[in-house]
């Protein structure tokens, strides 16, 4: 393979990675809608503890994100769905721990609105989720 062929191959991979990153963000936006809707439902309508409501919203959104990312973002054909889901969910749980800790810190240290704090924390964790799932769940490094 010539140097020019390697450059084209590298450029194509870079373009695929960029498109995948934006698709992951689009799926994440759907997940945010699910997360925030359920958090609002349980926190504000049903009057549950805001951190329990946050966990419920986060877990349901993570599950829907797995399905959407597998099909839409990564177009993954791997049939080890259970293993992939468990990996995805484990990464999401690590994210949930970070999400909850950062949210708690923001709520304790600032007077920011709960939902605004949640948006900030979600943005911070986007890069973690993309990188970890690209490498461990959908193995796009090869």
Answer whether residue 32 is part of any domain.
Answer: yes
Answer whether residue 45 is part of any domain.
Answer: yes
- pTM confidence score: 0.78
Name the pLDDT band for 2 (thresholds 50, 70, 90).
very low
The full DSSP string for the chain is --HHHHHHHHHHHHHHHHHHHHHHHHHHHHHHHHHHHHHHIIIIIS---HHHHHHHHHHHHHHHHHHHIIIIIS----S-HHHHHHHHHHHHHHHHHHHHHHHHHHHHH----HHHHHHHHHHHHHHHHHHHIIIIIS-TT-
Give residue 114's domain range. Answer: 3-137
Q: What is the reported pLDDT for 142?
A: 55
In the predicted structure, residue 115 carries a pLDDT above the cut 50:
yes
Answer whether residue 142 is part of any domain.
Answer: no
**Number of structural domains the chain divides into:** 1
| Tens digits of residue pLDDT in 10-63 | 788 889 989 999 999 999 999 989 998 999 999 999 999 998 998 899 889 999
| Tens digits of residue pLDDT in 81-113 | 999 999 999 999 898 899 889 989 998 999 899
Q: What is the reported pLDDT for 3?
A: 43
């Amino acid at each position: 393979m010539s140097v020019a062929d390697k450059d084209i191959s590298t450029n194509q991979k870079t373009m695929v990675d960029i498109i995948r990153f934006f698709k992951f963000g689009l799926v994440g936006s759907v997940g945010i809608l699910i997360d925030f809707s359920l958090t609002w439902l349980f926190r504000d309508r049903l009057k549950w503890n805001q951190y329990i409501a946050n966990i419920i919203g986060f877990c349901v959104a993570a599950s829907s994100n797995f399905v959407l990312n597998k099909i839409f973002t990564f177009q993954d054909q791997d049939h080890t769905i259970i293993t992939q889901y468990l990996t995805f969910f484990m990464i999401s749980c690590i994210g949930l721990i970070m999400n909850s800790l950062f949210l708690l810190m923001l709520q304790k240290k600032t007077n920011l609105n709960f939902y605004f704090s949640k948006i900030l924390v979600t943005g911070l964790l986007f890069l973690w989720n993309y990188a970890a799932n690209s490498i461990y769940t959908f193995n796009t490094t090869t």
